[in-house]
Amino acid sequence: MHIVTGGAGFIGSNLVCALIERGCDDVVVVDDLTDGRKYVNISNLPIADYLDKDEFLERLSTDKRFAKNISAILHQGACSDTSEWDGRFMMQNNYSYSRTLLHHCLENKTQYIYASSAAVYGGSSEFVEDPLFEKPLNVYGYSKIQFDRYVRRVAANSQSQVVGLRYFNVYGPHEQHKGSMASVAYHFNTQIGEDGAARLFKGTDGYADGEQLRDFVYVDDVCNVNLWFLDHPDASGIFNTGTGQAQSFNDVANAVIAWHGKGQIRYVPFPEHLEGAYQSFTRADLTQLRLSGCDVEFRSVADGVKDYLDQIG
């Protein structure tokens, strides 16, 4: 049985789809559908079962047969809202829950592949999987780095696989429910469709208008990294998951404009509330990922955005 937590969410639902497409007929989605809009992400997928996240934890602790039938937990569930400052809520969702699943997997020698985040680097200019470069700018980033630290301490010599994947700026299908937290590719597409203009921030931190740089990674490529580790249970560790390239917001907007065959860019003032809490540059160092043997190739913004918009039309 393959468990995908957050399986009705953005990356989770794409991962569920990827597992089913490779022939897995035992995929169980775990999620919290308080936001019922997410149901559309899994409504056409032949999953084996759906469990609420609280019911899932209860069954792990009370149903030994159920627990022993789990071959892998791909843990994508989290509160990913970087503007959320309720630290107690964030730590319960992103840290305590992840820790419970980790101990289950260690005790049962179950593969555990979980979503970390490039937000752990925050104010750093280096993006290497090393504590020297981990400087989160918000409580979301802190929740992720604290769990990575716990994994390093508790699972360093684990006899079963434990993998943390530090996702960079992921975009692609099934993110419509995320609202303001959806990717800039999603928002630019919506804006161009509505009034013909993609709105980008004016320059900040020494960058020209729209020239802030991020490592934008397509969701299908992220899923392929998860599947590679699933297929290589001897590989463990914490790994960056991005393209290894930094591209500008202008690049993303121009890719969306090229797909529409129309549109323009409009620059808007940089929000005051994001000053000091915004990553103007990210680029994944892929050294450790490649040393693990993972050979997944990553698409450029131009290729990824085209495939994304081709799918959502």
The residues annotated as belonging to the active site are 140, 178
Q: Which two tokens stand for residue 42?
A: 């899994």
Nearest residue to 252 via CA among 285, 205, 281, 212: 212
Nearest residue to 77 via CA among 61, 106, 104, 54: 54
Taking the chain, what is the end-to-end CA distance rounded to the nearest angstrom? 34
Taking the C-alpha atoms of residue 142 and residue 94, their distance in angstroms, rounded to an integer, is 10
Beta-bridge partners for 31: 52
Taking the C-alpha atoms of residue 168 and residue 117, their distance in angstroms, rounded to an integer, is 6
Q: Cα dist. 298→13, 165, 221, 245 in Å?
A: 20, 15, 6, 10
Residue 152, Cα to own-chain centre: how many angstroms?
20
Nearest residue to 154 via CA among 196, 112, 122: 112
Half-sphere exposure of 223 (CA within 13 A, CB side): 21
Phi-psi region of 279 (alpha: psi -120 to 50; beta: other; left: phi over 0): beta
Inter-helix orientation angle 184-195/249-260, to 10°: 50
Nearest residue to 97 via CA among 74, 78, 69: 78
